[in-house]
Structures are given as C-alpha cells and as structure tokens.
Structure 1
Amino acid sequence: MDKPWFSFYEKGVPRTISYQNLTLSDLLARAARSFPEKTATNFVLRYMLGGRLTIGGRSTYRKLNEQVDRMATALYQLGVRKGDRIAVMLPNSPHYVITFFAAVRLGAIVVNTNPTYTSRELQHQLEDSGAETIVLLNLFWPRLREIRPETNIKRVIVAHIFDTLGFPSNFLVKSSQKKAADWVEVRPEQDIFFFGHLLEKYAPTPPRVSLDMDDVALFQYTGGTTGLPKAAMLTHRNLMANAQQIDAWLPSGRPGEEKMMAAIPFFHVYGMTVAMLYSVFMGAEIIVVPNPRPIENVMTIMQKERATIFPGVPAMYIGIINHPKVSEYDLRSIKACISGSAPLPMEVQERFGELTGGRLVEGFGMTECSPVALVNPVYGTRKSGSIGIPVPDTDAKIVDLETGVDLPLGGEGQGELCVRGPQVMKGYWNQPGETAATVDADGWLHTGDICKSDSDGYFFIVDRKKDMIIASGFKVLPRDVEEVLFMHPKVMEAVVVGVPHPERGDDTVKAFVVAKDGESPTAEEIREFCKLHLAPYKVPREVEFRAELPKTMVGKVLRRVLVDEEKAKHKAVA
C-alpha cells in the first residue's frame, strides 16, 4: 500500500528490506569474517601528553569475536544455559560488548541494568527478571551485596575497567583507580568470579547452541502506566530488524569505514541498538565512551578520533553548540546524527550543522520497538517539531482517544500514535495484561503519545498520554519518586511532575510537597533523602512546598495544572 511518506524517502532508502536471517551471535561472527583486522572497539578513557597518548585500548573484530567465545565458554562452564537471564550492570566498555554477545551466543537473555540504580531498584529488577548471573563493575558491588540474599543471584562476575587494556594503559588506570576514594576491593569467594581471569582461563570453544530468530535476546526495563518498571522482551528478530532499518535509513554509510561515537549508554536500548548493534552490522569502529560528562570530554574525543556518526540526546547537542570554546574544536568529521528521547529544536539542528558540516535530525523510538520507529530523513526534508516519518517496513497511524477509530493523515485531529513493524516487541515479561493493553491483536503498538500529522505523513508529538517524565534521556515514573517521598517522615503529600526545560530539551523532575503539621523540611533535606533511594536522574532537581495540592472533586491530584503553572512561569521569565 502506498503511503504519503514514501515520497520523502531519500534516494537509496527502500520501502521494504530483504532482511538477513542472522541472529545476534551470527551478526558478530559475520563481522569478524568480513572485517577481521578492522577496529571493532576503541575504548577511550582519557588523553595524556597533550593528546599524544591515549589511555584506553583497541580491539579488532577478530579479537572481539575470540573474546566473546572465551566469555561464552566461561559462562557455560559456570552453568549458564539457553533461556537463562544474565544481568549486565556495566558502563560503556569492552566488557559490555563482550558480555552481551557472549550471552546471546549461548541463547541466554541479557537483562540491561542501569549502573546508577540504588540497591532498592536493583533488587526489584533482579527479582522480577529471575536473573541468576550478574556481570558488574567492581565499584557497583556494594549495592549488590546489600540485597543479594533477597535475589536469585548464584554467580557474580566482577569486572575492572582495566581488564581489557594493554600496557601502559592497564598499569596507569589500575594505579590511579586504586587510589580513588570510591575504589572497591572485591575479595574472591566461591561464587564470585573475575572478568579478566575468565578471559584468560577459558578457551574460545563455546558449545554450539541452536538459536531461533524469535528467541528472546533482551529484557529491557521500561516504565509503564502503573506500578514498577516492566521488561520488554526483544527478540533476535526485533533487534536485527531495527539495526537493518537504521542501516537502510543511512544509505551513504560505508561498511568497514565509519566511526561511531558511542557516548549514549549501551544499557539503554537506544545506545545498544544504534551505537552498538548497527555498528557491528556495518563493521564500524565503535568509539566507546564510558562517561559523556562533561560535554567537552565528548567534544575532545570526537575531534581526536574523527567520529563520523553521533547518535545522542538533545542535551548533548545543546551542550556542544552552547559551549564557550566550541569554535576551538574541529568537529567536521561528523556526517550524521540522530537525536532521540526528547524534542529537538530546529535551531539546534541548524546550528549543529553549521559547526560540524553534518546533519542532525530528530527521531522517535520506544523501548517496545527496539527502539527506532520514525526519523526525519537525514539529508532530505526535515520538519521543525516533527519526529519524522516511519522507517522502512514500519507503519504508523493516529487513533481517536475516545473511539479508537483511525484518524486521517493531515487532518486536524489529534490522537494516540500507533506503530507496527518487525521491531515491535514480543511482549512484556510475565505481564500478559500489560502486553494486551499495549500491543493489540493486529500488532499495533499503542505508544501512549498524543500526535498529529500532516498530509506528507510527518508526525508531530503534542503531548504525552502517560505522565512519564524524560530526564537526562531516561524515563522516570512519577510514582517511583512519589513512593520515596512518602517514605520521608515529614512529608504528608507529594506529587512529582516533569517540567519541560527549554534549553536542555528534556524535563526537570520537580516535586511538590505538603509537609506534615508542625514539620518544616527543607528542599535539600528532601533531595538528600531521595538520593539514598533513587538513581541520580530520578532525584528531583526542584522541590516546592505548598499548603495544599490542586485536586479534582474526588481528590485526584491535577498534575496538568502544576505543569501548566510551571510552563507559565518559564514563559513569563523568558
């Protein structure tokens, strides 16, 4: 069926793709055959001697595939089998790439785990997923140790950031880290193993495991309309399809020649699919950046390593164009950037293009669709405020919020955005009710975002159906934060909202608090309490105390009133 957006596909972008029937394990094995001596991972920690010495390490596709085989052998010998869940709690690093592909090579399921999680948040995810194995950085061990008896964890694999580095980087990093205040020395125990030792001990001879394209490869936790985060089950087919859809959207990409700036986290599905899987699909060099802050760190690495593709979030691009010394950096190696997670103003897109010579466009994705669904054409027509048009083999429509009836494209109506394609998840783990409410019988994923469209088939988000907050590129459920606020002994009532920030391009987490009679908590006191129980990006940046909260006749807090008040304040200041 013809769609209006097909007219805006760039030359070389197909309407439909002949998908390569590769599992994720096959994907890396093929890259190792096709690009054996090309750099797969370029791990950059810092520069010394005026940039002449890089503290980090490189690995070819041949070496990476061998390391994956060694880790897969180790995991199998330790008892990991097909269908088992492996929690991966790592920053961007070669360890993450090795662990991910080793797990899927055995048919195990990767459970992406945010390294900033508190013990409380980590416990929920480990319990819900049923993970029995976890791979984590030594610095994160205290948080696991605190709650481990409450989980099913049988095996702990501890990684050190210097494990995969050669001399002198390994010596320099090890020496400096051991002097740091946050250094954690993990002592060997019967069920605690060390990443570096496993790579040395085991041969690259994993068992051959029969894999199916519809086997689940990943549990990616995401917020929902109710309750705690739930795991979207993404299959080998889902993830491989999305990597190939991205590849099709960038027909100018050169296999074996591109350099991917991997500054967005792999533990987030956006970073994992776009920065890692798509790179392996095309044999690109993955410039692995463990920490994108401060933004000049990203700028320095981009300049030094000559990155060509840079997926990111609006806050990154805004930080770059507003950096006081941006004119001192040569960023003109950048060719293409796709921004996700929050709205991207057109003036940011244009200014970034002026500085780099590359093209920056906005796209839309969700965990439940692996994640990319719509993108503005990279070198074609991009429209201000639009999330773009559907990528190949993806259909999109808008349905009336009351009746569920399809609305015509280009009409005045606003409704819920629905998407359908091979990248849409299998469902939520152990949540059949939530699955049925999100993916209907015809395969349409109901996104929860209220959209409008124009006659060309470009889509525009106008509001969120859910109360989800997007902070620093991550989804925050207000209920998660509110539950912690209600734990505070001085808090009587609390509500949390996301206030759109005009400069950062994402939301500010703000808490409105009503104190108990006779109590006078301070904003800093509330924030410090939240830091004990929440990941940093969930901690309210702002806290406002009120005598009462706006409510409906039946006592439901009117979040929208609070958000509108905040928007009005920002507008008045501007």
Structure 2
Amino acid sequence: MGMDKPWLRHYPKGVPPTLSYPDVPLFHYLLDAAERAPDRPAIGFFGKNLTYAEVADRAKRLARALQALGVQKGDRVAIMLPNCPASVIGYYGALLAGAVVVQTNPLYTERELEHQLADSGAETILVLDQLFPRVWNVRGKTSLRRIITVSLKDDLPFPKNVLYPWMQRRQGQWVRIPKDADGVWRLMDLLRAYPPEPEPVAIDPRDDLALLQYTGGTTGTPKAAMLTHRNLVANTEQCIAWMGNVAYGQEVILGVLPFFHVYGMTVVMNFAVRTAAKMVLVPKFDVNEVLKRIEKERPTLFPGAPTIYVALINHPDIRRYDLSSIKACLSGSAPLPVDVQQKFEALTGGRLVEGYGLTETSPVTHANPIDGRRVAGSIGVPWPDTDCRIVDPQTGQPLPPRQIGEVAVRGPQVMKGYWNQPEQTAAVLRDGWLLTGDLGYMDEDGYFYIVDRKKDMIIAGGYNIYPREVEEVLYEHPAVREAAVIGVPDPYRGETVKAFIVLKDGAHVTEQELDAFCRQRLAAYKVPRIYEFRQELPKSAVGKVLRRVLQEEERGKREEVAAATSKES
C-alpha cells in the first residue's frame, strides 16, 4: 500500500488512511448538535449569538414552511445570500425539507442569475432584500414561483438592528418590496407562522442530491456539479480528521469565506455544524472588521484564501491586534505564496497550510499536513480515502513521479456528475476517476504539484473566471471586433483579468467605457482590470484566437522586466 500511495507515510500522527463515514443525510449534523450541545453558540453575528437549539428550531420551521408552500423532495431551492444566520438556516432548512440547494452568488447580474435559475429549474429562492429587484426582474424568464426575502437587520443586536434600515436608506440601498405581491414572503414571517415540525423525508445519502454547485469548464459554459449528501458528509469528515485535535463544542471558526462557494460551505459551515463549533460570520471581507472579530471572538480556526491572508499581513496596524488564538488555517482557491505563509504564522503562532480541491470534489482532495512535513509550492498529499494519480492527457495512462500530466482523483467526495450534462459528465468521470483538467506532477514522496491549468480558467481572489464568458460580453460592444481574455499575475488577487481588444474599422472606445459596459453585464470580479488595444490577435490556421500565445508574450514581458531589474540592482 505504501508503494502505491507513497503519501501515506507522511500522514500526521492520528490521521488514519481510511475513515468511517456515517450513513446519514447532511442535515443530521445540525439535529445532532442541537441535541448534544443545545446551548452552545452556533452563530455569532456582529455581537449577537444564536445557539444550536435556536438554529435547528429555525431550520425546522423553514422546512415546514417550504413543504407547506409546495416544495417537495428533489425540488431545487436557490440561496442568494452573503454569510449571515439566514444563509445557514436556509441551507439546512431546505435540506430538511428534502430539497436540493442551489448556491447562488449575490454578486451575479441579472443575466448570470437568469441562466443559473433556468438551468437548475429552481422554483424557490431565498434572497437578500437589497437584491430583490434582480430576482424580480428575471422571475418571468425562469421557473421561479416563490421568493423569500431576508433582511440582515433581523439578526443584528440592538441598536444595530434599528440603525440598519436608516443606513440602507442613507446609502441608497433600501429596496421597497411589494407587500402583497404573489409568491413573495419574508423569512421571519414564515418562521413565526410555522411550527418546528417538518414532514419527515426519506433520504438515501449515497444517491440523493444535497447540492447543485455551479462551476465552469473549457467552453466557459456554467455547469452544476451534483453533490450528494454522502459526498458532503465524507468531505466534512475528511476535513475534521485532517485538521486534528478538534474538540467538539469548543472550537470557534471565523466565517469569512462565502458559503455560496463550496469551499466556505464545507470547511466552515458544515465543518462547524458537525463539530458544534461557533461560526463567527462576516458577510463581506473587510480587513478591519476581520481583525476586530479575531480579537473579540478569539477564533481557533480560520480557513481562507491567499488574498485574505495577504490583506491581513500587510495591514499597517496588524501588530496592534492579538491573533494568538488562531491555531490552524487551511488555505485554498489559489496558490499560497511561501512568504505569506511564513509571515502569517509568525504573527499568529498558528499553522497555515495550502490545500487543493474542486467544486466537483466537495471540494477538498489534498492538503499539506497541519502537523508534519510541508513542502513549499506543493498542494500537499491526498486526504484519507482519496486516491490521486497523474495521467497522460492523450492516452489516460498513469505516469511515473516527476512527469507532468493531468491530475486525476477518486474518493467518496467526488461528484455524481453534472446536472443535465451527460456528455460533459462522461468526459471527466472515467471508472470512478475524475479528470480535473489541471496539469501537475507527483514527487517520489507522494506530494503533488499543480504546474498549469489545462483549462483557460482564471482564478482571481479565489473566484473562478472563464475567459469565454468575459469575451462574449466584450463582443457585444458595438466597437469591438475581436476580444481575447487571459489571466495575468496579480500580487493581491493571485491573478487578474486582462483583455486584448481589436476595434472595428473607424470605431473608438476608451478603457473606461468598456469597464462600464462590462460592469452592467458581469459580476465585478469578472470585469477586466487591464486592457490592451491591438491591430490583430494571434490565430491558428483555422482562425482560432490563441490565448496561449498571448500568455507566452505576457510571460516574456515579465521576464524582461525582472532581468532589467536584476541588472540595475
């Protein structure tokens, strides 16, 4: 076994190569925590706490309400919320009703929202009141029948709950929601109207879906990974085993990672509920707010992305804050620079390790050991019950150590397939193995490295951006003849979006005008930050724009700058 899986000899003490997974639906974690630790704080939100008993009570009331409104087993319920108590209650309430959750990014424009709702067939959505107009405007183009609005003021302590509506009006964010509109309810009204007694729903954890989580692919077409209750339970159990020394009912987790992203959903929310930990929720990353939460709430665990840690270590007053409560952090979504890791550990005294995963794997498959040998630049080793190999992209045959090929993984966290996409599913799932689309290699010790992406996906600030989607928007501009989009290195976001533009004859457009045009049609993180106007773009013999050539040109420019800088010094 050690020869086939050389990484096992580097497992930290106490982490077994295989685990036992409870054959339960995901919502069992919440019911169990409410029974074992009813008075334990489950959620901390700007100074107001909700216990596990209270969260479970609200989730069960919502489940009963959803069932009364007509939601049946297998129906899709979308959640379009930032991190807040309702995002947790909505998630587990939908699961208790037997529904399938569709996590929806609150940053989505109407265009993006319409596609996701139409593709998933969601008939119900929980949405932040400020975002209501977006949902209302696309309602007629989708299968939406029920809109449940959420106000953050309902979970704020006094006097913040009184000041919140006033601040909304002052900042122009207050939205009038029609009181008697057909199919529109307030979440708090539903929780008051229904008892905490949902109708029992029989769930087969291995086969029944808990989540449709949208990702993308080489074509840029959004796809939904079908994740079962078993997938998410397994990845949560793997995460607990890997973190080590997790005390039930004692941990405090900082919830900065958004729950609408599968990474935050698993390593913060599901992990916390499984261990009866307190989640300290932050709706939007703000470095000052995060530092205040750390000092006041004393989190022990702080999962994040490199951009978060970069912002913290570069804060001018960082040494004024006490960060010593943090004992372990798992970083994902983008490569973790070694100097960021070292500086953060020096500031906190905790351990920060890099991991790897995909939406299709619930999401984590690899990580460096929390206590054990860490390798700079490596994504670490496969988690318990997770197998990984490097295969030839053409033949699919396994490759020996140090040879670069496509990363393939299998394990209990691997998705069932893509929603309504049998051909796409068949292309990436082969005999239980998931072809990740990432290129990498394994060293002789079983540590894995990602060297490039087979896909052209850009990862900026932890968000996946698909060039074709951005290009299609740029092509809609009347002045644009051709457009190509690539990712270029960014010291803060990891990568940022650069667009190459060829204008139509006689046309003129400024960077500012293109920026405004894109912001109306794309979430802010997808909008190009850099534009370069050209007379033509590199193309293949059949006329396909070669992004690879543009990437090589950009790499060459960076190398020239680095060489010139080196000579000057």
Give TM-score scaled by structure 2 length. Answer: 0.96
Match in the other structure for 2:301: 309
Residues 411-460 of structure 1, C-alpha deviation per residue, up to 9 Å, x if partnerless?
Answer: x31000000000000100000000010111x2001000000111010000
Q: Tell me what 2:323 maps to.
A: 331
Deviation at 1:166, TM superposition (A): 4.5
Residue of 82, 102, 125 corresponding to 2:116: 125
* Alpha-carbon distance in structure 1 between the residues aligned to 2:23 and 2:331: 28
Q: Secondary structure at the match of 2:185?
A: strand
1:22, CA displacement in angstroms?
2.1
> Which consecutive residues of structure 2, in runs of 5 or more, have no partner in the other structure?
563-569
Does 2:504 match 1:516? yes
1:233 corresponds in structure 2 to 226
1:107: Cα distance to partner?
1.1
Q: C-alpha deviations, 1:439-494, integer Å up to 9, x for none? A: 11x20010000001110100000110000111121111111101100000000000
Which residue in 1 is equivalent to 2:168? 177
1:25 is displaced (CA, Å) by 1.6
**Deviations 1:195-231 (CA, angstroms, capped at 9, x unpaired):** 1111111111111111110210000000112252010
2:517 matched residue in structure 1:
529
Inter-partner Cα distance in structure 2 for 1:138 and 1:123: 18
2:411 maps to 1:421? yes
Question: 1:539 aligned to 2:541?
Answer: no
Residue 439 of structure 2: which of 430, 437, 450 is its match? Answer: 450
Change (3 A) 1:330 1:570: farther
Q: Is the 8 A contact 1:70 1:203 kept in 2?
A: yes
Residue from 367, 370, 387 that aligns with 1:395: 387
The 2-side partners of 1:522 and 1:142 are apart by: 30
Question: Which residue of 1 is the match for residue 190 of structure 2?
Answer: 198
In the alignment, structure 1 residue 223 sits paired with structure 2 residue 216: yes
Distance 1:323 1:164 in 2: 29
* Structure 2 partner of 1:554: 542
Match among 267, 288, 299 for residue 274 of structure 1: 267
Q: What is the Cα deviation at residue 553 of structure 1?
A: 2.4
For 1:217 and 1:248, how far apart are their aligned partners in 2? 22
Q: Tell me the equivalent position of 2:566.
A: none
For residues 516 and 443 of structure 2, the distance between their equivalents in structure 1, rounded to whole angstroms, comes to 46
Seq. identity, %: 53
2:28 paired residue number: 26
Residue in structure 1 matching 2:367, options 363, 375, 385 = 375
| C-alpha separation in 2, matches of 1:12 and 1:504 | 36
One-letter amino acid matched to 1:537: Y
Name the CA distance, whole Å, in 1 between partners of 2:451 and 2:546.
19
Residue 124 of structure 1 aligns to a residue whose secondary structure is: helix
Amino acid at match of 2:174: W
Instruction: Indicate the residue corresponding to 1:47 in structure 2.
Output: none
Q: Distance in 2 between matches of 1:571 and 1:520?
A: 32
Distance 2:41 2:141 in 1: 41
- Residue of structure 2 equivalent to 1:475: 464
Q: Secondary structure at the match of 2:27?
A: helix
Deviations 1:44-94 (A, max 9, x none): 2xxxxxxxxx4xx21000111001111111111111111000111001010
Q: Distance in 2 between matches of 1:569 and 1:275?
A: 40
The aligned counterpart of 1:349 is 341
SS in 2 for 1:331: coil
- The answer (yes or no) to whether the contact 1:111–1:219 under 8 Å persists in 2 is yes
Instruction: Tell me the SS of whatever aligns to 2:346.
Output: helix
How many residues align structurally? 558
> 1:264 corresponds to which residue?
257
What's the offset of the Cα at 1:173? 2.1
**What are the ranges of 5 or more consecutive residues in structure 1 without an aligned counterpart?**
45-53
Residues 118-166 of structure 1 deviation map (CA, whole Å, 9 limit, x = unaligned): 0000000010000001110111111112221111111110111112335
Structure 1 position 439 matched with structure 2 position 432: no
8 Å contact kept, 1:164–1:196: no
Q: CA deviation at 1:242?
A: 0.2
1:329 Cα deviation after fit: 1.3
- Say if 1:86 and 1:103, in contact at 8 Å, map to a contact too: yes
Tell whether 2:557 aligns with 1:569.
Answer: yes
Is structure 2 residue 420 aligned with structure 1 residue 430?
Answer: yes
User: What secondary structure sits across from 1:406 in the alignment?
Assistant: coil
Partner Cα separation in structure 1 for residue 406 and residue 483 of structure 2: 29
**C-alpha separation in 1, matches of 2:550 and 2:235:** 38
Partner-residue secondary structure (3-state), 1:407: coil
Distance in 2 (CA, whole Å) between partners of 1:164 and 1:530 is: 34
Asked if the contact 2:460–2:493 (Cα under 8 Å) also holds between the matched residues in 1, the reply is: no
Aligned to 1:107: 98
Q: Match of 2:243?
A: 250
Query: TM-score, normalized by length of structure 1?
Result: 0.95
Q: Of the candidates 72, 90, 94, which is equivalent to residue 85 of structure 2? A: 94
Which stretch of structure 1 is more off in the superposition, 84-93 or 185-194?
Answer: 185-194
The one-letter code of the counterpart of 2:558 is H
Calculate the aligned-residue CA RMSD, in Å: 1.2
User: In structure 2, how many angstroms separate the alpha carbons of the residues matched to 1:404 and 1:72?
Assistant: 45
Equivalent-residue separation in structure 2 for 1:434 and 1:476 (angstroms)? 19
Q: SS at 1:537's partner residue? A: helix
The 8 Å contact of residues 45 and 155 in structure 2, kept in 1 or not, is answered as no
Letter in 2 for 1:131: A
**What is the CA–CA distance in structure 2 between the aligned matches of 1:195 and 1:357, rounded to whole Å?**
41
Whole-Å Cα distance in 1 between the matches of residues 556 and 53 of structure 2?
A: 57
- Secondary structure of the structure 2 residue equivalent to 1:510: strand
For 2:476, the equivalent position in structure 1 comes to 487
Kindly state the Cα deviation for residue 312 of structure 1 after the two structures are TM-superposed: 0.7
- Matched residue of 1:245: which SS? helix
Q: How does 1:354-369 map to 2 (within 5 A)?
A: 354-369=346-361
Q: Which range is displaced more, 163-172 or 18-27? A: 163-172
Structure-2 change in CA distance of 1:378 and 1:505 (3 Å): farther
Q: Which amino acid aligns with 2:485?
A: V
Output the CA distance in 1 between the equivalents of 2:293 and 2:556: 39
Distance 1:471 1:427 in 2: 26
Aligned position for 1:49: none
